[in-house]
């Protein structure tokens, strides 16, 4: 089945130097392509796999977990106008298949104002009375109507913020059991528990991104339009790994002259994409 033209791209693109003047963006692009390193702050040309955790922040603010990562957009060239207005017009496109093999993955978007059904506070329990049920019990329960009077709608962002903070409180609370305070068996279980939580943190929560669904599609803080992919760690790439080098039309000849190894890959963005100047 053919994929509709313009719906997704065969390439993932990273635009460089957000907020910098065009001449500085161009210099940064040349540095990245000549040194074969696409890096994240603090821009060290070396492998990295770190994650900063800010417990005082809210998860829905998108700055509680700050993994060392590079972001790409999955946007066909014909639809890059909004993205280049935010991030600049100097970019590097890689085959999606190449970046997937390097660990890239799309983010999971969550609408900040989406609501989730939750038990009202007076009906909540502080424990799960039973972790498993029999097949017979399940057959009975699944046909029972939900007690909707005991539930209420809450913003999904608030729900995430509350529960992720609780997960971190539990993380530190359980540390004393890892030291053997409750016995060797419990210490081993707690150690395994932390390994699973670390996996969950990096490979699931590290790919979650909230967006404000009330903003216009071209608003700088409406992240949904970015079709973001993330790759943890800096990327050391070869010239042959690059598909396209995007620059404004008036920079094409200079870019081809100053980056001869990429001459055939330099591609101008359509002129209407720099119309805001």
Residue 141 is predicted with a pLDDT of: 77
Determine phi and psi for 97, rounding to 5 degrees.
-60, -35
The pLDDT of residue 182 is 67
Residue 277 has a pLDDT of 40
What pLDDT is recorded for position 70? 96
Q: What is the pLDDT of residue 134?
A: 82
- pLDDT at residue number 180: 64
Q: Bridge partners of 137?
A: none
- The label of the residue with tokens 């995007």 reads 246
What does each of the 277 residues of the chain score in pLDDT, given as a tens digit? 445 557 889 999 999 999 999 999 999 999 999 999 999 999 999 988 888 888 889 999 999 988 899 999 999 998 999 999 999 999 999 999 999 999 999 999 999 999 998 888 888 776 666 667 788 887 887 788 878 888 899 999 999 999 899 888 888 777 777 666 667 777 788 788 888 888 888 889 999 999 999 999 888 888 998 999 999 999 999 999 999 999 999 999 999 999 999 999 999 997 754 444 4
pLDDT for res 120: 86
How many CA within 13 A on the CB side of residue 138? 5
Question: Could you tell me the residue ranges of all domains in the chain?
Answer: 11-111+209-274
230: three-class secondary structure by DSSP: strand
What pLDDT, on the 0 to 100 scale, is given for residue 275?
41
Quickly list H helices, the chain: 22-35, 81-87, 96-101, 135-141, 156-178, 184-203, 252-258
User: Could you give the CA distance from residue 234 to residue 250 in angstroms, rounded to a whole number?
Assistant: 30
Give the model's pLDDT for residue 92: 98
Distances (CA, A) of 10 to 17, 100, 195, 270: 23, 11, 35, 19
Q: How far apart are CA 267 and CA 247, in angstroms?
A: 6
With a CB cutoff of 8 Å and minimum separation 6, the contacts of 16 are 25, 28, 29, 32, 88, 90, 91, 92
Between CA 22 and CA 90 the distance in angstroms is 8
């Amino acid at each position: 089945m053919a994929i509709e033209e313009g719906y997704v791209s065969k390439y993932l693109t990273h635009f460089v130097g957000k907020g910098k003047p065009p001449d500085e963006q161009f210099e940064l692009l040349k540095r990245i392509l000549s040194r074969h390193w696409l890096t994240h702050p603090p821009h060290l040309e070396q492998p990295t796999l770190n994650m900063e955790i800010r417990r005082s922040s809210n998860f829905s603010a998108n700055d509680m977990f700050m993994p060392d990562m590079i972001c790409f957009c999955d946007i066909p060239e014909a639809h890059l106008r909004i993205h280049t207005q935010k991030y600049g017009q100097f970019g590097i496109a890689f085959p999606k298949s190449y970046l997937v093999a390097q660990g890239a993955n799309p983010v999971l978007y969550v609408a900040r104002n989406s609501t989730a059904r939750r038990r009202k506070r007076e009906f909540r329990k502080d424990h799960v009375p039973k972790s498993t049920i029999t097949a017979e019990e399940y057959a009975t329960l699944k046909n029972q109507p939900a007690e909707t009077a005991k539930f209420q709608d809450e913003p999904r962002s608030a729900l995430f913020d509350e529960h992720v903070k609780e997960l971190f409180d539990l993380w530190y609370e359980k540390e004393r059991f890892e030291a053997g305070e409750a016995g060797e068996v419990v210490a081993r279980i707690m150690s395994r528990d932390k390994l699973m939580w670390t996996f969950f943190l990096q490979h699931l929560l590290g790919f979650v991104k909230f967006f404000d669904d009330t903003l216009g599609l071209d608003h700088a803080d409406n992240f949904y339009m970015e079709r973001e992919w993330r790759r943890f760690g800096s990327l050391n790439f070869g010239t042959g790994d690059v598909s396209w080098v995007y620059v404004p039309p008036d920079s094409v000849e200079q870019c081809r002259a100053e980056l001869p190894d990429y001459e055939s890959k330099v591609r101008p963005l359509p002129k209407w994409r720099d119309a805001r100047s």
